Amino acid sequence: MFSLALEKEGRRYVELAPFLLPLLKDAGLAATPLTIQVIDFSEDAPAHTVLAEDSYVGAHILVSFLVKHGVASEEEAKQTIEEMQRDMMLPGYYALVLLSDISAQKPT
């Protein structure tokens, strides 16, 4: 739903880090190499509870965005969020999150 709403808004990508490099260079900054962090938030992983809660809250924040772009009604979006939350609590749940990191500084 989120990807479809982004597409309707004229955006194609959620991940911005690859697009930052030319912007940083144009600003006269030297960027560090892009790194990817992998976080396991599977059923028994230490990050599971925190990321499941963050996903639930974040999804609720997106409801108005989804409704605005006609991707789902408020009821449909909230029902999907509840299903997502139940799925994340099922035995055998397996998930990874990929986070990208890029930074820059003024050249010396």
Read off the pLDDT of residues 5-62 as tens digits, 9 standing for 90 and up: 988 988 776 667 777 888 888 999 988 888 889 999 999 999 999 999 999 999 999 9
**Rounded distance between C-alpha atoms, residue 36 and residue 82, angstroms:** 29
Q: In the chain, what are the domain boundaries?
A: 2-105
Sign of the dihedral defined by the CA atoms of residues 68, 70, 72, 74, in that order: positive
What is the value of pTM for the model shown?
Answer: 0.73
On the question of pLDDT at 99 being above 90, the answer is no
**Rounded distance between C-alpha atoms, residue 95 and residue 43, angstroms:** 8
